[in-house]
Amino acid sequence: MIDGALIKQFLELYGGSEEGIRIFQAPGRINLIGEHIDYNGGHVFPAALDMNTVVIARPNGKDEIRFAATDLPDRVCAKLDSLENYKGIKWGSYQCGVAYMLQREGYRLTGCDMLFHGTVPFGAGLSSSASIEVVTALCLAKLGGAKQLVMEDIAVLCQKAENEYVGMSCGIMDQFISAVGKKDHAIFLNCRTLEYEYVPLELGDYTIVITNTNAPHKLTDSQYNQRRSECERALAVINANGGAYQTLCEMGIAELESFRDCFQDEVLYRRARHCVTEEMRTILSLKYLSEGNLEMFGSLLKEANVSIRDDYEATGKELDAVFDIAEGIDGVIGSRMTGGGFGGCNISIVRKDKAEEFRQIMNEEYTKRIGYAPAFYQSGAGQGAAEVEKWR
């Protein structure tokens, strides 16, 4: 049920009545394993959260889209005939990018007023940006008259908006899980072909505790784009020396090792090694999780964190502190950073009866080491993007 205060805020902002109001939502995500390989042709294993971006919308009879958010003073008015002109705005470029891409792909747009409200924490690496993109696309397409949407296509469109309009070279994972996530399931997704399967997320006596380092995670600032460039250069080295690969994740570790002497830059080799070994871990994770072997699944999470810390160098002191502390807490069988890194969140698989103790120890030790406290979330695997049919 949508909080009546949100409807009230919408009406105070835009006037009028409740007539014509429609509400949509799309979730953030965690990635269980398979980090930084979505743009390298690998498999990923994300789950949608039950934390969402909600948009309240209503047609306005004008040739413009007006955006606002419940927690920001910014107001945006984007003209439908000049959507390409809003790329540099402080807030709203994600929404304008999605509107632009919908228009370019032939979707009909209608002028409307939109109020965004999010429970996905910003800057935490839980894909608040993807949830904004997907809910915007769903809302605008539906208000424009689209009847049957293929949500996989919506995900691809939103990725294009972020790549080409916002300038962030992200892979497909975040938008995909936000668009097609399924309650109580993770998705095992082949990022090259977009084939996927739902996998029940059954943890029994365990739960996933998300620890937010509270270190800001800003991907467009660019270490993320740098890592993607390094992977492209690593692939180019391999193919210039006899390889014939479309992506790094096509090869096994023995194949990669056969090209090791071709790398003059050790950093590029280590980036490639993370991608190749992470693909192996992700495929094994499907096996162990499907079998209910949580101990082995947890051990793969630990290996993944070491790889992304040492070979990919995408963690930082805050994420490293959380991982090190988690390793020493009773009841933890697996822990790793999740998301793009460089700040953001860690996920730890913790025995349910030890979860409160985990939070207490982590809070105390992390604050001691870093100088400020972390935040914690517990979320089940949520549902993908949808219109909220019953909100009154």
Residue 163 contacts by C-beta under 8 Å, 6 or more apart in sequence? 169, 170
Mind listing the pLDDT tens digit for each residue in 56-110?
999 999 999 999 999 899 899 999 999 999 998 989 999 999 999 999 999 999 9
Which single residue is written with the structure tokens 């391999």? 238
pLDDT single digits (tens) 213-240: 998 655 445 788 899 999 999 999 999 9
Say what percent of the chain tops pLDDT 90: 86
pLDDT of residue 221: 54
pLDDT > 60? residue 287: yes
Residue appearing with tokens 């349910």 = 352
Specify the pTM.
Answer: 0.91
User: Is the model more confident about 170 or about 383?
Assistant: 383
φ, ψ dihedrals at 364, nearest 5°: -65, -50
61-74 per-position pLDDT tens digit: 999 999 999 989 98
Would you state the pLDDT for residue 170?
Answer: 83
The HSE-up count of residue 68 (CA atoms within 13 Å, CB side) is 16
Q: What is the pLDDT of residue 220?
A: 44
Q: How far apart are CA 361 and CA 342, in angstroms?
A: 23
Cβ atoms of residues 143 and 59 within 8 Å:
yes
Residue 342 pLDDT: 84
What is the per-residue pLDDT for 348?
97
Backbone angles phi, psi at 231, to 5 degrees: -65, -40
- Within the chain, residue ranges assigned H as helices are 4-14, 93-104, 128-143, 151-160, 173-180, 223-240, 253-258, 266-291, 294-310, 317-327, 355-370
Domains plus CATH for the chain?
4-201+382-387 (3.30.230.10), 206-378 (3.30.70.890)
Q: Give me 82's structure tokens.
A: 């000049």
Per-residue confidence (pLDDT) for residue 369, from 0 to 100: 97
Inform me whether the pLDDT recorded for 47 exceeds 70.
yes
Beta bridge partners of 186: 199
Look up residue 46 and give its two tokens.
């994300």
Identify the CA nearest to 346 among candidates 209, 216, 211.
211
Mean pLDDT over 341-366 rounds to 95
Which pLDDT score, from 0 to 100, does residue 94 have? Answer: 95
How confident is the model at residue 218, as a pLDDT? 56
Q: Check the CA dihedral 369-370-375-376 and report its sign.
A: negative
List, in sequence order, the alpha helices (H) in 161-222: 173-180
Question: What number is the average pLDDT over the span 40-60?
Answer: 96
Mean pLDDT over 312-335 rounds to: 96
Query: Which sequence positions are flagged as catalytic?
Result: 174
Please report the pLDDT score of residue 217 as a whole number. Answer: 54
Q: What is the pLDDT of residues 354-389, one digit of tens each?
A: 999 999 999 999 999 999 999 999 888 999 999 998
The pLDDT mean for the chain works out to 94
Q: What is the pLDDT of residue 388?
A: 94
Residue range 340-353: average pLDDT? 92
**Residue 2 pLDDT more than 80?**
no
Where is pLDDT greater, at 145 or 220? 145
Tens of pLDDT, residues 182-222: 999 999 999 999 999 999 999 999 999 999 999 865 544 57
CB 204 within 8 A of CB 325: no
Mean pLDDT for the stretch of residues 261-272:
97
Mean pLDDT for 29-34 is: 96
* For range 336-355, the mean pLDDT: 92
- For the ranges 76-80, 269-273, 325-329, 339-343, which has the lowest average pLDDT? 339-343
